[in-house]
């Protein structure tokens, strides 16, 4: 007989691990499946910074900063040993960026201080510009956080080839069955019709370097540099949109980050210890994708006019959900998105409209080249 669970989660990155943790906190029996194991993709390669978003305001900045407040409280209470609240410096890249920073300042919603170039230089940071310092920010040990959130939860390394829904409504994957399925599969989203969500991958490489450099603060300019924690300085991760498929990690990518970091800090004693790489998944509009999965085939059959701009009531795949598209801020977004999805699944609460994956469906119907013949 197949083993039965309340929820089966496919994907053991920070999205899947956070959802699994949130559901377990609600006393639900959870199984997590991942073809390569815990944090084996983009999450494991992330710089895993947990910091606010700067900019000129707007809904994405507001959501990111709301998620940041929740995330830093979450990590401090749940796994403080893997969250290093070093503070994070945001530094302008050039004179043009300095002018942008002047405009950004009034939209800084979180606690911050303005560090002058003299203050920054006294910390051993090479810069000719002032910057913002966010004292509540920091970074996570990416793989360790995912593993910690999954402690006590059954995790099986297996590649899921497909999903099958049985007559009683339960989902079946091999020898396992569950009432609910959550797809946290990142850029590989072939287990259901998710094209309308516009999930896309961005390749990232991170290098961990052994160093004695007394660097007590993390920073981000055109790249991320982690504070020295336990003799390790993290550089990266990169954002390589031209890479379309997973490839082996390359030392030269990490060493390139070291060369780039020399514009910010003294890298003379940095020695490469380990390279991490993987594909992070984002959405078309950079907002996370959370909630139910629309039954695309049924929608096209029952309301064919949607490809010409009409709207219609939405039909969903029964008990099939998604938590994806967290992008380069996965460790910022994941705890709050997981909370919202768990509340939706268990308590029936509506998913926040800013992240509800439904938002992209009708636009996709109107503009998708795949549906051109139906118009």
Tens digit of each residue's pLDDT (9 = 90 or more) over 163-202 = 999 999 999 999 999 999 999 999 988 899 999 999 999 9
Q: Domains in the chain and their CATH numbers?
A: 3-42+144-199+284-374 (3.50.50.60)
Give the global pTM.
Answer: 0.96
Per-residue pLDDT of 124-161, as tens digits, reads: 999 999 999 999 999 999 999 999 999 999 999 999 99
pLDDT of residue 101: 94
Query: What is the three-class DSSP state of 209?
Result: strand
Quick check: 149 and 21 in contact, CB under 8 A? Answer: yes
What local confidence, expressed as pLDDT, does residue 283 receive? 95
Q: What is the pLDDT of residue 61?
A: 97
Per-residue model confidence (pLDDT) at position 288? 98
Question: Across the strands, what pairs with 225?
Answer: 219, 235
Confidence at residue 375, expressed as pLDDT on a 0 to 100 scale: 74
The sign one gets for the Cα dihedral 324, 32, 143, 151 is positive
- C-beta neighbour count of 269 within 10 angstroms: 11
Sign of CA dihedral 290, 292, 293, 297: negative
pLDDT of 155 reads 98
Beta-sheet pairing, 316-324 with 289-294: antiparallel
* Listed residue (342, 331, 325, 251) closest to 288, CA to CA: 325
Predicted pLDDT at 309: 92
Task: Encode pLDDT of 214-237 as tens digits.
Answer: 999 999 998 999 999 999 999 998
Please compute Rg for the chain using Cα positions. 21
The angle at the Cα of 226, spanning 47 to 132, to the nearest 5 degrees, equals 105
Indicate the DSSP class of residue 267: -
The low-confidence residues of the chain, meaning pLDDT below 50, are none
What pLDDT was estimated at residue 189? 83
Tell how strand 176-183 and strand 171-173 pair up: antiparallel
Q: What is the DSSP string of 327-358?
A: GGGHHHHHHHHHHHHHHHHHH-PPPPTTTBGG
């Amino acid at each position: 007989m197949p083993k039965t669970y309340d929820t089966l989660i496919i994907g053991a990155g920070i999205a899947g691990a956070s959802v699994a943790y949130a559901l377990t906190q609600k006393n639900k029996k959870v199984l997590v499946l991942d073809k390569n194991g815990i944090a084996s993709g983009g999450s494991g390669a992330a710089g895993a910074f947990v910091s606010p978003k700067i900019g000129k305001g707007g809904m994405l900045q507001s959501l990111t900063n709301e998620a940041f407040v929740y995330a830093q409280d979450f990590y401090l209470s749940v796994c403080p040993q893997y969250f290093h609240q070093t503070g994070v410096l945001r530094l302008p890249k050039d004179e043009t960026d300095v002018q942008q920073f002047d405009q950004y300042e009034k939209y800084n919603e979180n606690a911050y201080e303005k560090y002058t170039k003299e203050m920054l230089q006294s910390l051993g940071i090479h810069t000719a510009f002032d910057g913002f310092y966010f004292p509540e920010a920091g970074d996570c040990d990416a793989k360790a956080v995912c593993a910690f959130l999954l402690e006590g939860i059954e995790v099986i390394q297996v590649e899921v080839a497909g999903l099958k829904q049985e007559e009683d409504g339960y989902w079946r994957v091999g020898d396992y069955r569950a009432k609910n399925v959550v797809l946290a599969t990142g850029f590989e989203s072939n287990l259901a019709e998710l094209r309308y969500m516009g999930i896309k991958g961005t390749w990232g490489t991170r290098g961990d370097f052994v160093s004695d450099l007394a660097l007590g603060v993390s920073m981000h300019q055109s790249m991320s540099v982690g504070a020295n924690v336990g003799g390790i300085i993290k550089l990266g991760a990169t954002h390589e949109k031209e890479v379309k498929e997973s490839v082996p990690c390359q030392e030269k990518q990490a060493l390139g980050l070291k060369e780039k970091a020399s514009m910010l800090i003294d890298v003379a004693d940095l020695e490469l210890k380990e390279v991490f790489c993987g594909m992070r998944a984002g959405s078309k509009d950079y907002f996370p994708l959370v909630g139910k999965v629309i039954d695309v085939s049924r929608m096209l059959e029952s309301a064919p006019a949607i490809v010409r701009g009409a709207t219609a009531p939405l039909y969903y795949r029964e008990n099939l959900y998604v938590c994806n598209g967290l992008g380069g801020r996965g460790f910022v977004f994941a705890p709050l998105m997981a909370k919202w999805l768990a509340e939706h699944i268990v308590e029936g609460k509506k998913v926040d409209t800013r992240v509800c994956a439904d938002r992209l469906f009708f636009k996709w119907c109107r503009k998708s080249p795949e549906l051109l013949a139906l118009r």
